[in-house]
Structure 1
């Protein structure tokens, strides 16, 4: 057991895990800063998941981007046999805590009937029978059986299949100054959001695809569950509210301003986050009525709101790229 690991809950699993690691290694970063330096903002719209359509407001590479932007040396592994994965995990725990991706459906302390992954946790101990986890959703450490953890660690469900991925810090030295890392991360985030114009699965283009498709959701047999899950992925499920935009706004207001950006960017992002929250409320309303005519009206409203948000985000990230 890593007895001095500073576990504390937070808004988002990935950025909270990174914040706790930052506290452990003395990097002096808050959760929003970890999210931003990981270029965590993003948007994906896809058909893969527990509902007919899913949305995700973060970048899939938050955790690895964080270490790369700060120049922190890490060791990571994915795939391979079950014995080799567990040997790697246990060996790395001799040096420090280990980040892992899991499907929370298999973790009994969640009591969830929905597959959801990758959910980022930090493993701080493994015994012959159990695994001790630092999970952002809970104020206390959680302990599960090895079998339960392995089921969660190797899952074919979620936003993408999970194959016993782990990452641990090799050398905890920051080799890139925080201001430099911040500017690199903002440039990367802007590129991800804007270059997605050519790929409707990510970035601003994905928000537009989401907006265009919303009125067609009335044809889904699971329209209420699809809308509910989308609402949850905007306002709940570890987003910090507003489809992760509220976390990113705090990052822009703090580390972004410290790195020389105009302080109005954080305020603009917070207003965008508020409007994502309002869109989420419309989708929640869809999930709470059986009236098909009401579904159509609400989804048209949601479509208009999403289209307006796409335009505003394109403008904001264009301005951010120009302001670096």
Structure 2
């Protein structure tokens, strides 16, 4: 059991910062709150080795195959904090009562916390963005009466959730059920120096190289992008136009509506390499960053093509081939970029 009484009391001076993606934003905000002033969203994403791709046809989410453009939920925060030498607290709960008690104790101690939640019942989300997805992240930083003060990084301003509303999203059912998950960095850590950030960047890049180039099998990393591209070319005949369109809609939903998806994550990774240049003075980082920006543009073009098929505007086999070819081109581009990263001579 974690004893919050051993934590130094921190007056609640939490500052809401908007971000492109929820876990990146939560990671950045929580680390800045404990004194890591140089943390940015791109640095959090890159140090946390957030870039990824996986296609799992046997796992279904909202009726379509499971597709992810980033690493598993929770890993960005965990990896970033630990690479900087910061211990983290992470808990899940079976009891909603104990989950609320622990949350209230954190708030009373002045400790903002990250929470994994489902988006379907998030009352401040626009209705068109509410569907059954349980890996969203937000920060709870205070409480007023029966209402919790919420900093959701993808929103422009802070929000409020009642006790009932927060419990409902913290204990959403289904795939990736959050189980009241709560997490935060321990505040009593050594100062994070530029040298620590420099070394953490290297760790993050090398781990991302492994994840994108060297995972065995055809469904993950750059191999997974290529595999999916080839599969898409067969979907029209194998699944029929209607079901194939639904599968492509799933690809777009996971790409463009869940955080920043395929394209946006590539733009963030390009920004990470640009910011890494300030810690590792190798101009190749700036050149490689351009490849990820190009990849992001291609992912966005692929999303437009997929949307056209789903909406029935373009449904020929040639249209499916164009869609598949986008992913084949992306696979080769990202493969080349990560191989170039293996050649970087990192500063000690």
Q: TM-score, normalised by structure 1?
A: 0.89
**CA distance 1:67–1:273, change in 2 (3 Å):** same
Tell me which structure has the larger Cα radius of gyration: 2
Number of residue-to-residue matches in the alignment: 320
For structure 1, which segment, 175-184 or 230-239, has the greater mean C-alpha deviation from structure 2 after superposition?
Answer: 230-239
Map of 2:82 onto structure 1? 68
Unaligned runs of 5+ in 2: 1-9
Map of 1:252 onto structure 2? 273
Task: State the Cα deviation string for residues 236-294 of structure 1 (Å, max 9, x = none).
Answer: 43217715100000000112452244221111211121111111111121222166x43
CA distance in 2, matches of 1:265, 1:105: 38
Match of 1:83, SS state, is helix
**CA distance 1:309–1:256, change in 2 (3 Å):** same
Q: CA deviation at 1:119?
A: 0.7
**Residues 127-138 of structure 1 correspond to what in structure 2 (within 5 A)?**
129-138=146-155
**CA distance 1:77–1:200, change in 2 (3 Å):** farther
Map of 2:327 onto structure 1? 306
Q: CA deviation at 1:76?
A: 1.0
Q: CA deviation at 1:172?
A: 4.5
CA distance in 2, matches of 1:36, 1:109: 29
CA distance in 1, matches of 2:60, 2:277: 34
CA distance in 1, matches of 2:230, 2:294: 22
**CA distance 1:166–1:14, change in 2 (3 Å):** same
- Contact kept, 8 Å, 1:2 with 1:125, in 2: the verdict is no
CA distance in 2, matches of 1:2, 1:236: 35
The answer on 1:315 being equivalent to 2:336 is yes
CA distance in 2, matches of 1:268, 1:318: 12
CA distance in 2, matches of 1:209, 1:83: 45
**Residues 223-234 of structure 1 correspond to what in structure 2 (within 5 A)?**
223-234=244-255
Unaligned runs of 5+ in 1: none
- Contact kept, 8 Å, 1:106 with 1:149, in 2: the verdict is no
Map of 1:6 onto structure 2? 15
Please point out which of 20, 37, 40 is paired with 2:47. Answer: 37
- Contact kept, 8 Å, 2:263 with 2:298, in 1: the verdict is yes
- Contact kept, 8 Å, 1:207 with 1:306, in 2: the verdict is yes
Map of 2:3 onto structure 1? none
Please point out which of 72, 96, 103 is paired with 2:111. Answer: 96
